[in-house]
């Protein structure tokens, strides 16, 4: 026989209370949420007012229908439980080798440049301190993303961004360094 489905009734109730408050504040009828999500009114009512479990996909759909970011729903008083044994001690006691725990794939220089470009990092300013040279880009990415970035990783990624037109490059007269901007 399988495990019984886990339902965190206490925090689910807090989440539902938060959704209900936002629905009231935004004056959104359940029928409008049903139309926008493609759920029936009964399904929407069960998601918002029910006592049973609901899926995270349903919560995403409701947030989208309410035209709010999903994180707005999770502004609840969530109590982190206290465990008598820390994760590291648990791993040691159960002989779990850290190398066997999946690690996140490290971000590449191209991904870092794409993120910075989207955030406006390369927008041209008249401030000399704000000029984005290869050295300053690498240093900023080492601080923000990962410490083991090497300058060589960025050279080709920056050239690719210039080629596709998302960045420009010009020669700084006083130092001879290239400066990058969007």
Question: Residue 182 pLDDT more than 70?
Answer: yes
Query: Which residues span the domain enclosing 121?
Result: 109-181
pLDDT in tens, 18-47: 999 999 999 999 999 999 999 999 999 999
pLDDT, residue 84, reads: 67
List the strands of the sheet with 168-171, edge to edge.
132-133, 178-181, 168-171
Structural domain contains residue 146: yes
Spatial distance between the Cα atoms of 5 and 19, rounded to a whole number of angstroms: 23
Annotate 141-172 with b (16+ C-beta within 10 A) or e (fewer).
Answer: beeebeeebeeebbeebbeebeeeeebeeeee
Question: Residue 66 pLDDT more than 90?
Answer: yes
pLDDT, residue 99, reads: 58
Residues 116, 81 share a domain: no
**CATH no. for residue 28?**
1.10.260.40
pLDDT, residue 26, reads: 92
Residues 120, 171 share a domain: yes
Average pLDDT of span 98-103: 60
Structural domain contains residue 2: no
Domain boundary among 52, 72, 102: 102
Residues 78, 121 share a domain: no
CA distances from 18 to 2, 21, 47, 71, 77 (A): 32, 5, 12, 11, 10
pLDDT in tens, 149-163: 888 888 888 888 888
């Amino acid at each position: 026989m399988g495990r019984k489905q886990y339902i965190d009734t206490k925090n689910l109730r807090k989440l539902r209370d938060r959704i209900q408050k936002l629905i009231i504040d935004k004056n959104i009828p359940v029928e409008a949420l049903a139309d926008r999500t493609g759920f029936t009114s009964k399904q929407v009512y069960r998601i918002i007012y029910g006592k049973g479990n609901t899926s995270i996909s349903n919560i995403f759909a409701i947030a989208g229908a309410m035209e709010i970011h999903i994180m707005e729903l999770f502004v609840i008083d969530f109590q982190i439980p206290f465990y008598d044994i820390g994760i590291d001690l648990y791993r040691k006691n159960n002989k779990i080798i850290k190398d066997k725990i999946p690690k996140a794939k490290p971000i590449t220089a191209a991904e870092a440049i794409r993120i910075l470009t989207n955030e406006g990092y390369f927008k041209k300013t008249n401030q000399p301190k704000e000029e984005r040279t290869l050295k300053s880009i690498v240093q900023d990415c080492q601080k923000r993303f990962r410490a083991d970035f090497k300058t060589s990783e960025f050279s080709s990624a920056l050239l690719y961004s210039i080629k596709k037109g998302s960045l420009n490059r010009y020669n700084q007269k006083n130092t001879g360094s290239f400066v990058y901007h969007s």
